Amino acid sequence: MTTSTIAGAPRRGVLSRVTDRIGGGVIQALMVLIGVFWLVPTLGLFVVSIREEAANNSTGWWTAFTKPAEFTLKSYGDLLATGFTSSFWNTVAITVPATILVIGIAAMAAYAFAWMDFPGRDPLFLVVVGLLVVPIQIALIPIAKLYGALGIFGSIAGVVLFHVAFGLPFAIFLLRNFFVGIPASLLEAARMDGASEWRIFSTVVFPLAKPAIASLGIFQFLWVWNDLLVALVFADSDNQPMTKALQSQMRQFGTNIDILAPGAFLSLIIPLVLFFAFQRYFVQGMMAGSVK
């Protein structure tokens, strides 16, 4: 960028080239500073989680680098002994089905919106667009009542169902917009050959939509994995995911940082790994759904 500017403007004098160089140095330094600024909070959490409790209570985590003797995995061991593992598995048991169900249900609806004709299609899709921004608070009380009547209040199934329902508008929106971009010729050909709609959907459209499904999947996965509010209301203590388990520890913040820090770090490991592995799909999903 800078170089091309210089090359493109040969009339510029030596002076401006020098200031460019200096400006570039300042910008480099500034960006490094900002990057550090953004990394330090998470780094702090990590260091606190692998330090002795006594050390955490007396000095700042940044002093630990000079005293490597303080590092220990004891907090993680203690945490796993408290039954935190069960909340980890609860998180998995909520997130995986919620993600798969959203993809399946939304893909079918999106296919209908994109490639099938039925009365009221466009208005109905506008309703879906409108639902993108509905705050989940609106449903907490009514759904709690509904779940009570159905006998699934507090269960994992209830939490999953709630996430699926509120994940759908975004999912349908994203997939439908991808599906309409699929070449009509492919569908025409399949229809000419007498393939059923279900067959077209499952063997032509669905496989073609892999990038969009990956975007949706990663997004929905992170959204459900990281949710606190839904779990707070609908999951009882046997079925609580990590976020809720951690939240219940917040009250004694300070005295139990040896539980909170490793717990928080464990809860963010999987999202971070997924994020780095699939960041390009994550970005796509985010962009496509930034109305959310």
63 to 102, contacts with other proteins by CB under 8 A? none
In this structure, which amino acid lies at residue 36? V
What is the secondary structure of 266-287 as a DSSP string?
Answer: HHHHHHHHHHHHSHHHHHHHHH
Residue 210 in contact with other proteins, rule: CB under 8 A: yes
d(CA 13, CA 5): 13
Q: List the structure tokens of 26.
A: 């300042």
Residue 60 in contact with other proteins, rule: CB under 8 A: yes
β-bridge partners, 71: 51
Q: Which of residues 227-266 bind other proteins (CB under 8 A)?
A: 227-229, 232-233, 243, 246-247, 250-251, 253, 257, 260-261, 264-265
Q: Which of 86, 155, 226, 256 binds other proteins (CB under 8 A)?
A: 226
Stretch that binds other proteins, among 71-79, 80-88, 92-100, 117-125 (CB under 8 A): 117-125
Residue 185 in contact with other proteins, rule: CB under 8 A: yes
Q: Which of residues 121-140 bind other proteins (CB under 8 A)?
A: 121-122, 124, 126, 128-135, 137-140
Q: Which of 66, 68, 118, 193 binds other proteins (CB under 8 A)?
A: 118
d(CA 273, CA 94): 19
CB 248 within 8 A of CB 254: no
CB 216 within 8 A of CB 285: yes
β-bridge partners, 51: 71
Stretch that binds other proteins, among 26-34, 69-77, 79-87, 92-100 (CB under 8 A): 26-34
Q: Which of 21, 188, 199, 203 binds other proteins (CB under 8 A)?
A: 188
CB 46 within 8 A of CB 265: yes
Indicate the DSSP class of residue 238: G
Compose the 261-290 pattern: x for residues touching other proteins by CB under 8 A, - for all others. Answer: x--xx-xx--xx-xxx--xxxxxx-xxx-x
